[in-house]
Structure 1
Amino acid sequence: MTTDPCSSDDAKRRHAEAEARFLAGVEFLERGDTKSAERCFREALSFSDALAGAAANLGYILDQRGQQEAAEAYLRRALELDPHCATAALNLGALLTTAERFKEAEAMCLKAVALRSESPRPWSNLGVLYAGLKREAEAEQCHRTAMALDAGNLAARFNLAYLLLRQGRYEEGWACLEARRWYAAFAARMPCPRWQGEPLAGKSLLIGYEAGHGDMIQFVRYAAVLRERQPRSIDLVCHPALTTLLAGQCGIDRVFGFDEAIPDGGWDYWTPPLSIPYHCRTTLETIPARLPYLRAAPARIAAWQPRLPAGGLKVGLVWKGNPRFENDAHRSLPSLATLAPLGGVPGIRFVGLQKGAGEDEALHPPAGLQLTSLGPQLADFADTAAVVSQLDLVIGVDTAVAHLAGALGVPCWILLPDYQTDWRWLKERADSPWYPGVVRLFRQTRMGEWGGTVEALRDALAERFSKARPAAVRSAAGRSGG
């Protein structure tokens, strides 16, 4: 049996076919048709396995789908074929950052910067990596370099906002936060101009929704601030689970859920809630922090009171957040069992407030942690407020319930992750100017390790209980004697 080598004409034909498939894939990718783009890139590689661009784009598509292992393989293949493929280096650096392989990520991000130093994206990505590693001066320089290369680069400006706000540099931080665009779909529905700080006397304003439940609870306080400017009306659009709670609070006239039919007009202006601090020029010293600014409905309080445990200090627990949140793997506890040491503090009656992910764990709490599970019964945040308002303390991870407790003026201890701690809790502080005298922060000392944090929390709980017990005993004695 004999074989013939591939002719030069055949090689040229296959290369031309590969190039044609590659260009078609690029067009599909630009249109957002990733399925067709993937097919074209795979076909291109079948004609020529040396096409670095096709491998790089295929790696990008797979990464966007969450297929990180396969994506990494294609991105590395692209760099083997062409060590100067900046796109592959850029995307591989981002993938490694997400995978928390920080040493590899830094090397690849630096490679992307070296290959494309005139582009803002590699600098911005390197800044994100450095910010997560708490190398904040380097992170800031990266973001500012990206902005200098392209003053209109929203990603770099937005990333810098988180860094500045975490440092308490609010004046520039709020301005940079205006680069966010996650409310774009809502903005497109608005028939009136966006409020840019104009006088509101006699005007009607709609505060739109953005981000999560906790953000809305934290920033709804600004409705009361704007009410002092004597507008004709202030209405609010929010998440459906918040409508009943927020109706009539903070000087708000009407509340709509974003799943409802919202009137086509009738407002002079609209604004996203997280833009209000910018227009109000909020600093650390001027945060509107009069507590409580939310109150639970008396009827709901009465309805929930019989379901609460009798006697002792009542402490609510929340151990997980929304799994769709980008840093949830770090902010949420592995399980309710992580809080088992708290059960060793005598006289505490724990109340489970967990809804969604993790709520089933409350049905079988760890040994020694006596827990009354109410989370599955909570229909909305009005119910949660009614329960929380009757507790002595809430202990939880960084979720909406923590903001709710703070807004209600109920003491709340929050467990914070070491990695990518949310900007609103600032740096190194154990308190919060957003909820003064109410919130206490317990921070991880090492990424991913909750043991020491929970031990510190348990000791603080024991100390609090020892101080509170005499008052509780006197109160119980007074009731029995009356």
Structure 2
Amino acid sequence: MHTDSQQAYLDANHHMAAGDFAAAEDCYLQALALQSWHAAARANLGFLKEQQGANAEAEFHYRQAIALMPDHAQLHQNLGALMLKEKRFAEAELAMRTTIELEPESPSAWSQLGVLMVCTHREAEGEACYRQALALDPQHARAQFNLSYLLLRQARFEEGWRMLEARWQFDQFPLSFDCSFWEGEPLDGKSIVLGLEAGHGDMIHFCRYVPQLKARGAARVDVVCHPGLVRLLATLPGVDQLHALGETLPAAWDYWTRPMRLPCLFHTAMSTIPAGVPYLHAEPDLVARWREVLPQGGLRVGLAWRGNVNFENDADRSLPSLMALAPLAAANGVDFVSLQKGPGEEEALMPPSGMPLHAVGPQLADFAETAAVIANLDLVISVDTAVAHLAGALGKPCWLLLPDYRCDWRWMAGRGDTPWYPSMRLFRQPHGGGWAPVIADVASALLSLGSSAAPYPRSAPGQ
């Protein structure tokens, strides 16, 4: 191997480790210019381009590297993961099965193949792959986590909750407190704090367990949450104090845990899901103020069409734009209210033709404000984002639009309702995806609702 080429390759690896992708790319290209058959440089350049989101370039470099090292299992695995990301399922499966042929004892390869199987609705095969990975390595965190999503989607809760514990091994938002991690010990006279879940919707979903902590005898239950949730979660029965993320916290608790661990610690089964709603409430003064602002007379329907762009499956769960909801405008006597915040919020200023849409997004300072708006609505129509969780927690009728590809586990499989939120109705994409059939079904349902003599009742102030 040429010394200069190898030195450029080593320099590139150094820059890559330091996060300087531009310098790393220059050095990898230099190494390849000096020695075009430098397979490791080609492979690492493919990985670099994938991290940058340049998938076509990444694929090119991976395939070039595979031509030089056809028996390199990790290269085939990387290519398979990239093809899955691109939804090129047949090519992904070929690459993943080649990986297993080359390295049949690799738990990560079996786990990755399981993901592909589940994503393409071959769940029995996917489960077999996950279990093969765990037979090879019973502590393989990614395989446990992947299996948990499959089990929970199928309402196989007992094992599913246990497997979900693996998620903390690669948590992107680590938290720790100067107290013991709660594992279900008696709480009589003790204090406990719930740490942060990354998603606002997750916090809204799982805060419902706070009253159960009090029922276990906890003398004090505090919650650490996003600043935008503080006022809202203050309405939750059983909460003693809210702490916004980033503020100085007292070191005064006996235990701490995460909200999403509570279903496991309380041995939640389908029959014991705490589904009493509302468990969150809008502030009466805010409800009264918004009653004067929102349109009067017609059916009031809130809309939320996009979620957080940083969520791993956002491209599938979010609508491409507000225009996708244009068929809803055919419903007469409906006043739409935009609940959209962040990405897509400005689209409410230019709604589809014939859609009367009130853009209140800029006035929604936090989720307490959003709750007050929702309390004045008849219905919320939302993609799988925090607004839907909020509507469900408030007991407000909510029509939830769900993707076919990698739909979240909590909505389970094949259901038009959810035991987590009794007021929610689920509208699912058909196999293969596509929002048009979903929106058509929602538009038809909205037409029927708008023409009915008894639309959904609005909430009374503070309810």
Give the Å deviation of 1:139.
1.0
Which region of structure 1 is more displaced relative to structure 2, 101-110 or 177-186? Answer: 177-186
Identify the match of residue 91 of structure 1 among 78, 95, 98: 78
In the other structure, the counterpart of 1:333 is: 319
Aligned residue in 2 for 1:107: 94
**Aligned-partner residue type, residue 408 of structure 1:** L
Q: Give, in angstroms, the shift of residue 202 of structure 1.
A: 0.8
| Match 1:462 to one of 447, 451, 463 | 447
Change (3 A) 1:46 1:455: same
For the residue of structure 2 that corresponds to 1:221, the secondary structure is helix
Tell me which of 375, 381, 390 is aligned to 1:404: 390
Residue of structure 2 equivalent to 1:49: 36
Question: 1:256: which partner in 2?
Answer: 243
1:167 positional shift? 0.9
1:250 & 1:144 partners in 2: Cα distance? Answer: 40
In structure 1, distance between residues paired with 2:21 and 2:322:
40
Matched ranges for 1:124-143 at <5 A: 124-143=111-130
Partner of 2:275: 289
Look up the SS of the partner of 2:399 in the other structure.
strand
Match of 1:423 in 2: 409
SS at match of 2:75: helix
8 Å CA contact 1:72–1:95 kept in 2: the answer is yes
What SS does structure 1 have at the residue aligned with 2:243? Answer: strand
Q: How big is the shift at 1:44?
A: 3.4
Q: Distance in 2 between matches of 1:27 and 1:175?
A: 39
The answer on whether the counterparts of 1:192 and 1:268 sit within 8 Å (CA) in structure 2 is: yes
Secondary structure of 1:234's aligned partner: strand
Query: In the alignment, is residue 305 of structure 1 matched against residue 305 of structure 2?
Result: no
With normalisation by structure 2, the TM-score equals 0.94
What is the one-letter code of the residue matched to 2:253? W
Distance of 1:32 and 1:146 partners within structure 2: 31
Corresponding residue of 1:320: 306
Q: How far is the alpha carbon of 1:361 from its aligned partner?
A: 1.3
Correspondence for 1:234 among 221, 237, 241: 221
Equivalent residue, structure 1, for 2:435: 450
SS for the counterpart of 1:420 is coil
Aligned CA distance change for structure 1 residues 301 and 173 (closer, same or farther; 3 Å): same
Q: State the shift of 1:94 in Å.
A: 0.6
Tell me the CA shift for residue 102 of structure 1: 1.2
Q: Which residue, out of 172, 179, 197, partners 1:192?
A: 179
Task: Structure 1 unaligned segments of length 5 or more: list them.
Answer: 1-11, 476-482
Match of 1:439 among 424, 434, 437: 424
Equivalent residues of 1:314, 1:350 under 8 A apart: yes
- Matched position secondary structure for 1:180: helix
User: Would the aligned equivalents of 1:218 and 1:403 in 2 still touch at CA under 8 Å?
Assistant: yes
After TM superposition, the structure 1 stretch with the greater mean CA deviation from structure 2, 233-242 or 356-365, is 356-365
1:123 maps to 2:110: yes
Structure 2 partner of 1:201: 188
- Any conservation in 2 of the 1:354–1:376 contact (CA below 8 Å)? no
User: Residue in 1 aligned with 2:199?
Assistant: 212
Shift of 1:137: 0.9
What is the aligned partner in structure 2 of residue 147 from structure 1? 134
Question: Which stretch of the first structure deviates more once superposed, 382-391 or 370-379?
Answer: 370-379
Q: Is the 8 A contact 2:305 2:318 kept in 1?
A: yes
Q: Which amino acid aligns with 2:162?
A: A
Higher relative contact order (CA 8 A, sep 6+): 2
Matches within 5 A, 1:463-478: 463-469=448-454
8 Å Cα contact 1:118/1:149 also seen in 2: yes
Counterpart of 2:233 (choices 246, 251, 274) is 246
> After the TM superposition, which residues 362-381 of structure 1 pair with which residues of structure 2 at under 5 Å, given as runs?
362-381=348-367
- In the alignment, what sits opposite 1:6? none
The answer as to whether partners of 2:107 and 2:132 remain within 8 angstroms in 1 is yes
Residue type of the partner of 1:286? T
Identity of aligned residues (%): 50
Rounded Cα–Cα distance in structure 1 between residues aligned with 2:14 and 2:137: 25
Residue identity in the other structure for 2:294: L
Question: Does structure 2 conserve the Cα–Cα contact (< 8 Å) formed by 1:315 and 1:350?
Answer: yes
The whole-number CA distance in structure 2 between the counterparts of 1:293 and 1:25 is 54
- Taking the aligned partners of 1:173 and 1:214, their CA distance within structure 2 comes to 20
Which residue does the alignment assign to 2:461? none
Q: CA deviation at 1:458?
A: 1.5
Contact 1:317–1:352 (CA under 8 A) maintained in structure 2? yes
Structure 2 CA distance for aligned equivalents of residues 444 and 74 of structure 1: 35
What is the distance in 1 between the residues matched to 2:173 and 2:417?
Answer: 35
Q: Using the alignment, how far apart are the partners of 1:141 and 1:183 within structure 2?
A: 25
Q: What secondary structure does 2:427 align onto?
A: strand
- 1:275 deviates by 0.6
1:376-423 C-alpha deviation (Å, 9 max, x unpaired): 211000000001011111011111010100000000000111111111
Cα-to-partner distance string for 1:213-256 (whole Å, 9 max, x where unaligned): 00000000011111101111000001111011111413111111
- Per-residue displacement from partner, 1:33-87 (whole Å, max 9, x unpaired)? 7666545544433332212222112211221121212211111110011111212
Distance 1:51 1:308, change over 3 A: same
Secondary structure, in 3 states, of the residue corresponding to 2:274? Answer: coil
1:348 has 2:334 as partner: yes
In structure 2, distance between residues paired with 1:347 and 1:105: 49
For the pair 1:388 / 2:374, whether they are aligned, the reply is yes
SS, match of residue 178 in structure 1: helix
Deviation at 1:112, TM superposition (A): 1.4
**Counterpart residue identity of residue 156, structure 2:** R
Q: What CA distance in whole angstroms lies between the structure 2 residues aligned with 1:276 and 1:134?
A: 29
CA RMSD of aligned residues (A): 2.0
TM-score by length of 1: 0.90
C-alpha contact (below 8 Å) 2:290/2:376 kept by paired residues: no
* Deviations, residues 281-316 of structure 1 (Å, cap 9, x unaligned): 101111000111000011111121111110021111
